[in-house]
Amino acid sequence: MNIKTETPVTDEEVTGFYFYLFPEETDTPPGRYDTFVTLYKRISETEFELSDNEEIYVPPEPIPEPEPYVPTLEEVREAKVQEMNAVQQAMIQSGVNVALTDGIVEHFTLTEHDQTSLVGLQSQVAAGEESIPWHTSNEGEHCKFYSNADMGLIITQAMAWVTWHVTYFRDLRIYIRSLETKEEVAAVAYGMELPEEYQSEPLKVMIAAQAG
């Protein structure tokens, strides 16, 4: 039963009581409450709850905060693989700069659509066609014709760019999955030099070509 008083009441002053207010003035019906002598729960100095069965309020045990989840080494590895894959895709799609036969350097993006289109143009280059239409990555420029020689350069360098990143990422993925500590995995960055034992033969050839 909830009780409110005008003045503070100590625990020792809690006793039963008689209640004589009119019923319409309170939720507690008039009558004798001399058995409510146990302080069940103190809400404030002037408000408390009494019980008539010696029951005392016991606050619930606080719910402990859940322990933060600690990923396993395998999960950390796979998260790093996914991170590196995203970087690989961004690097590929960012494209390449190609120096054309007239010395002008143009940039060509390599989205999946671009790559598919370039592969389709290989047959025109092989057939010796001139004036092959293509576009640069500048959306403010119209499509234009490229000579057979220039389109050959664009396709060759674009495919080399894609091949490099695909090959490097595959070797990097194998390397990541070989690491034995989370700290080693965390230190991996795209573009890092891989230990030689994790370099495939194609990657070694490409690295040697770049160095030469």
More confident residue, 79 or 4: 79
Its pTM stands at 0.70
Distance CA 117, CA 50 (A): 83
Give residue 119's domain range: 73-211
Is 58 inside a domain boundary?
A: no
| Residues 167 and 203 occupy one common structural domain | yes
Helix axes 201-211, 148-178, angle to 10 degrees: 120
Residue 208: phi and psi, rounded to 5, are -65, -40
The answer on pLDDT for 121 being more than 80 is yes
| Residue 42 neighbours by CB distance under 10 Å | 15
| Residues 90 and 189 occupy one common structural domain | yes
DSSP string, 40-104: EEE-SSSEEEEESS-----PPPPPPPPPPP---HHHHHHHHHHHHHHHHHHHHHH-EEEE-TTS-
The answer on pLDDT for 20 being more than 50 is no
| Residue 183 neighbours by CB distance under 10 Å | 9
Residue 134: strand pairing partners:
144
Residue 3 near residue 50, CB atoms below 8 Å: yes
Is 115 inside a domain boundary?
A: yes
Is 61 inside a domain boundary?
A: no
The answer on pLDDT for 154 being more than 50 is yes
| Residues 15 and 46 occupy one common structural domain | yes
Distance CA 31, CA 41 (A): 22
Is 170 inside a domain boundary?
A: yes
Question: pLDDT above 70 covers what percent of the chain?
Answer: 80
Write out pLDDT tens, residues 188-198: 999 999 999 99
